[in-house]
Structure formats: C-alpha cells, structure tokens
Structure 1
C-alpha cells in the first residue's frame, strides 16, 4: 500500500507541472488561463502564445504521462497495476493542480502520453483518428475526445483480448476527458464551438 501511495503522490505532483502556465508566467509575464479559452493546454497555448510554445506544451505534457507510467510500473515492483494507478494520478494532477486552485488543463496531451506508455499501437491509432477528425472538422475538442474515448476499445482489438483492468482504466481516462470537455461538447451541439485557427469569440 505504501508503494501505491508513493506512486500516486509522485504522479500527481508530476501532473502539476503546468507547462503553458509556467512558460506564460516566467517568460511572457501573463497567466494563460486569463486569455483565450482560459485553459492551460496545448490548443490555448497555440492561440495565445503561438506554435513554438504550443509544441513545447504538447511534448512536455505528453512526456509527463509517459514518465508517470514508467515510474508507476517500476517503483516497488507494481508492474502494470502501478502504471495504471500512476496514469490516473498524473492526469488528475494535470487537470486539477493544487497550487493553481485546481484549475489546470484538460488532460489531452497527458492522456496521450499515458496511452503511449501503456499500449503504444492503440494510442498511435487513436492519435491518427483524432488528427484525421481535427483535419476534416477543424474541431480540436472533437478529435481529442474521440481519440481518448476509443482508446480502451482499440486495446481489445490490438491486444487481441479483453483485459478488465486496462478497459476500466481507459473508461476512467475517457470519462475525465469528457468531463473536462463538457463545455466544448455543449458548444459542439449548439454549433458554436471555435474551429482551429478561429479566434475565441
């Protein structure tokens, strides 16, 4: 139990590293959450700070997910269970960082990193599908939600078997993503969601 708690604490704190927020604060002297969509994530970093910082945000946030899973799998000999435990904790840390009054990002890039570390092929297929949706619709939120939501189902096909723990983990990850995108979903339904390249109205 001590190992599980240590893994959760490390992963949560790792998730608390808010890339776009920290870059904004220390290099741009501004809080990204006060601009654009108000989200501390890759898409808003692109909107507010431009491509370079958006790419850095995407990579660092994804690497947080990868690092957390590897720490979870190797610390205390927990294996896959530890990786899944850490995966949830790092996403929670990214979405709800304690030092920012629990106002973080939506966990897309971090979820991608977690998925790549646990089941790479499934994650790559999910990413490809998500990018295709974004390219066609210009809705980043739609592509992100679909990519994360289909990951647990793709795991069944790619891995050739139904693994209950992995499936439940994927559903929890998808549920967090859907919850964080709830306002985007409302706007998508009302056809008022901003498209990629469109300024926040």
Structure 2
C-alpha cells in the first residue's frame, strides 16, 4: 500500500509539472501557440516577450505554483502515516520526498506529456520547488535574480546566477539545511538549468543574448 501511494504521488507530481501553462493560456486567450513565436520556448520568459506583462505574470505564477504544490505532496505521505512524526529520521525523509516530487514536476515542465513533451526550461517551476524546500534562501535568490535583471537586463543570466546562489547560500552556517542532500541537489539543479540554457550561454558569451526591455510597454 505504501509503495502504491508513493508511485501514485510521483505520477501526480509529474502530471502537475506537465501542465503546459504557457501553451494552454496562449491558445485559449490568444488563439496561438506560444512555441511558434519568439524564442519558441513554452515558458514565462517567452510569454512576457510575446504576449506582454500580464500574460507573463499569470504564466509564471501558475508555473511557480506547480512546483510548490508538487513538492508539497510529500505531506501526503506524512498525513497518511508513512512518515511518522516521532521517527528520528522524519526530517530527512520529508526532504527526500520533497526533492523527488519537485524534481518530477520540473521534468514534467520540461517534457510535458500534455504538450508533446515540448515544454519550457523549468526555472519558474524550480522556484516553486525551492520555496517549498527552503523559502528563506530562495527569497534571497529571487533578490539575486532581480539585481542581475535590472543591472544587465539578461533574464537568462539572472536565472543562472540565482539558481547557483541557492546551494552556495546553503553552504553557509546561517542557512545550512537539516539535510546536506539539499546542497547537492542545489548544484544538480544548477547543472540542469545550465543545460537547458546552453543556447543562452553561448549567446551571452558571444554578446548576442537578447536583453529584457523592462520599461517598454508590451501589448497585453
């Protein structure tokens, strides 16, 4: 029974991540597929670029919620009695399942079953996952992203540096998590984000990456 619950919860986490917010929203609201415009990416950044601020904020918010909700499914196991609160390894088990479910949501966002496995880069979904795992360090990472974005106007650079900041912050005694596996996971997630941003990194190195026009009004 316990293993069946874990399998079902894992599938649910992937399906939550697979909700192609940008694709469904662009088709329903604008009658077009966001993947056929802009960078061709089915994520919040391309939605901001193509459809404007309001659409971008909506898509980003739902994608963050996907990651947070999927990661929080670990509490289902706790409420079911699979992870007893009096267990001395309770916190380690909770973190382990949070990382598993959150990772499945990210995989779902990148390879969504509901959109022919062609999704986004998973940054917003990762943000939701990070909030569920360690919200204090994550909020500081958001600060790093905003500083880089307003200083250099590169969304990709902000995403990369913010993601890298997460495990680096957790290495300090002030933010050290109960389970060191979170730090290892942080570096792993940065590697995945870097891989999904390979083209962006090349363009950054060549000075050809598009800058975000923060002040320009876009059509909503």
Once structures 1 and 2 are overlaid, which stretch shifts more, 163-172 or 125-134? 163-172
Deviation string for 1:13-56 (max 9, x for gaps)? 00011111111111211100000011111111011111111010
Count of residues in Structure 1 that have an aligned counterpart in Structure 2: 199
In the TM superposition, residue 84 of structure 1 has moved relative to its aligned partner by 0.9
Residue aligning to 1:50: 52
Q: Which has the larger radius of gyration?
A: 2
Once structures 1 and 2 are overlaid, which stretch shifts more, 64-73 or 154-163? 154-163
Q: Which has the higher helix share?
A: 1
Which runs of no fewer than 5 residues in structure 2 stay unpaired? 84-92
Higher relative contact order (CA 8 A, sep 6+): 2
* 3-state SS, counterpart of residue 72 of structure 2: helix
Deviation string for 1:131-177 (max 9, x for gaps)? 10011000000000111122112122243368331122212221221
Q: Separation in 1 of the partners of 2:6 and 2:194? A: 26
Q: Is the 8 A contact 2:20 2:114 kept in 1?
A: no
Q: Separation in 2 of the partners of 1:168 and 1:5? A: 24
Which runs of no fewer than 5 residues in structure 1 stay unpaired? none
Q: How does 1:49-88 map to 2 (within 5 A)?
A: 49-75=51-77, 76-77=82-83, 79-88=94-103
What RMSD in Å do the two structures reach over aligned CA positions?
A: 1.8
Residue aligning to 2:40: 38
The list of structure 1 runs, each at least 4 consecutive aligned residues, that deviate by more than 3 angstroms after superposition, is 1-4, 160-163
Q: Is the 8 A contact 1:156 1:163 kept in 2?
A: no
State TM-score, norm by structure 2: 0.85
Q: Is the 8 A contact 2:40 2:46 kept in 1?
A: yes
Aligned with residue 157 of structure 2, among 136, 139, 142: 142
